[in-house]
């Protein structure tokens, strides 16, 4: 059953203003519009919860995370039913994303039980040291306080209400206020109901989690500017994310904004791999490019190749593969319109040739493929802007030197990929230092649309891929975003936090 409201301080709260969801088919549902007054109540409850929640043991928090995962799985059919209606994503995709969501909740439960994330350090006292003695110094990581999380449009589960940002923040000991995305409010509410059940089962403070539904920008602005919020996690557009980032920086007490804002995820095809496997790579690229209608932040939108017969074979093979893909439903009508606008702009750009072009119906997208030269790319920075959807651009360069120049021209990326064979080792080795400065994850002979949730994963990169290049939004390292180091000097053992004794 849908309440159609916000979940604040353990209660479902409605308001006078409502907005409808936009299902692909069937009747709409009404949801309360998130207003600054709801943010105020949620932030105040989160601050009250922090007093007790940050003192819970790692075992207690791990049990809470596992309980949330169990409650989400108990509502699996309900989540899939409303999720497919609201987003147009197929059932198998949502079921897989649900598994990823519950998997990362349990991963963080295991992670905090080990205790390594605390980074505990102890410098023993040196009372006889001259000219000055050294005191007893102990350090560990502590939670920062209430955290704001913005749900993403393209991942209604894994990057939303109970997604990686929420899971890592709760694991760290931080209460969370989620600003739900208006593209899938019903899905968000069912997941929030699962967290509500886990709060009751584990006897947590009711303010430890809140969901304020979308509907207005004012609520989002109020959330990042609220003085009780100590950090923000965001996945979304460059424009929206940059605006929120600037608000965080302009606060009287500036706070960190961990935003994942966009990427074109370029692939670089080395000469031997292009000539030997160009057709195979083209097929894999087309599949990755169109997966989920191209609505992945790791969608590989650009392929850089050296001009010649291998490049021609690659282009023809990509054309043939993309031509077999029909129209796909996009997450929202607005995203579909933005994709069509980006497609039109690309087609009208000087020096760009259309290889596959097609018009789309409202809220659908069809693949588009374009080709340009390395010199045109270097002369026109707009070619490096992300078009969110199944659009690919082949950049033909004259040689490895121009390929390196294209790589050097890149803005920050989530991923870069090298396709190489054994005889390409020297060329790939020369290119790798450049790509290592540009991206948070570098792949060999693969496609970046799969992001493993694990200890070693980095999902982030230099701006504008993310606003903080020292962190990741996927994997266990993401918990570091919600922690700060505290040093205790000459503190009596019986006074120290339990994890530092």
Question: Torsion angle of alpha carbons 311, 316, 318, 319, nearest 10°?
Answer: 140
Cα separation values, 260 from 211, 232, 238, 285, 295, Å: 21, 11, 8, 23, 14
Strand pairing of 30-32 and 18-20?
antiparallel
260 is catalytic: yes
* Closest C-alpha to 87, from 367, 360, 262, 293: 293
Cα separation values, 486 from 121, 142, 269, Å: 10, 7, 47
d(CA 162, CA 54): 19
d(CA 122, CA 302): 48
d(CA 365, CA 55): 49
By residue count, the chain amounts to: 501
- Per residue, the 3-state secondary structure of 114-160, as one string, reads HCHHHCCEEECCECCCCCCCECCEEEEEEECCCEEEECCCCCCCCCC
Cα 447–Cα 241–Cα 481 angle in degrees, nearest 5: 75
Exactly one of 47, 86, 189, 297 is catalytic; which is it?
297
Check residue 158 and give left, alpha or beta (phi > 0: left; psi -120 to 50: alpha). Answer: alpha
| CA-CA-CA-CA torsion sign (463, 418, 101, 184) | positive
d(CA 13, CA 10): 9
202 is catalytic: no
318 within 8 A of 285, measured Cβ to Cβ: yes
Exactly one of 260, 386, 396, 402 is catalytic; which is it?
260
Q: Which residues are known catalytic residues?
A: 260, 297
């Amino acid at each position: 059953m849908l309440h159609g409201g916000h979940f604040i301080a353990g209660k479902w709260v409605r308001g006078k203003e409502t907005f409808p969801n936009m299902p692909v088919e069937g009747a709409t549902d009404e949801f309360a519009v998130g207003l600054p007054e709801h943010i105020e109540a949620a932030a105040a409850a989160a601050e009250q919860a922090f007093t007790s929640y940050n003192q819970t043991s790692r075992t207690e928090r791990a049990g809470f995370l596992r309980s949330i995962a169990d409650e989400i799985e108990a509502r699996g059919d309900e989540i899939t039913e409303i999720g497919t209606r609201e987003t147009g994503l197929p059932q198998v995709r949502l079921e897989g994303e649900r598994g990823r969501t519950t998997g990362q909740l349990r991963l963080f439960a295991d992670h905090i039980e080990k205790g390594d994330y605390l980074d505990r350090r102890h410098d023993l006292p040196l009372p006889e040291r001259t000219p000055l003695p050294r005191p007893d110094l102990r350090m560990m990581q502590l939670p920062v306080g209430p955290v704001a999380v913005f749900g993403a449009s393209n991942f209604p589960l894994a990057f939303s209400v109970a997604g990686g940002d929420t899971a890592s923040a709760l694991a760290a000991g931080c209460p969370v206020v989620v600003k739900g995305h208006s593209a899938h409010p019903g899905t968000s509410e069912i997941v929030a109901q699962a967290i509500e059940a886990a709060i009751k089962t584990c006897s947590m403070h009711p303010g430890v989690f809140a969901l304020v539904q979308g509907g207005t920008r004012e609520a989002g602005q109020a959330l990042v500017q609220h003085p009780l919020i100590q950090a923000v996690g965001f996945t979304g557009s460059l424009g929206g994310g940059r605006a929120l980032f600037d608000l965080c920086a302009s606060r009287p007490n500036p706070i960190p904004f961990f935003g994942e804002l966009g990427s074109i995820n370029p692939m670089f095809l080395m000469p031997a791999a292009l000539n030997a496997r160009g057709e195979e790579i083209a097929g894999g690229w087309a599949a990755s490019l169109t997966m989920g209608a191209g609505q992945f932040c790791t969608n590989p939108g650009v392929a850089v190749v050296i001009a010649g017969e291998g490049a021609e074979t690659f282009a023809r093979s990509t054309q043939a593969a993309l031509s077999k893909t029909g129209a796909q439903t996009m997450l929202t009508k607005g995203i579909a319109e933005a994709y069509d606008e980006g497609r039109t702009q690309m087609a009208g750009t000087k020096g760009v040739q259309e290889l596959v072009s097609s018009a789309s119906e409202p809220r659908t997208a069809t693949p588009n493929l374009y080709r340009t030269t390395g010199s045109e790319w270097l002369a026109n920075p707009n070619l490096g802007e992300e078009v969110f959807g199944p659009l690919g651009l082949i950049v033909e360069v004259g040689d490895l030197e121009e390929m390196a120049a294209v790589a050097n021209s890149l803005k920050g990326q989530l991923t870069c990929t090298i396709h190489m064979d054994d005889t390409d080792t020297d060329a790939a080795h020369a290119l790798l230092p450049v790509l290592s400065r540009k991206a948070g994850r570098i792949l060999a002979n693969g496609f970046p649309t799969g992001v493993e949730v694990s200890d070693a994963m980095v999902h982030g990169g230099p701006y504008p891929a993310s606003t903080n290049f020292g962190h990741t939004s996927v994997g266990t390292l993401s918990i570091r975003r919600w922690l700060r180091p505290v040093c205790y000097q000459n503190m009596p053992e019986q006074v120290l936090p339990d994890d530092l004794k």
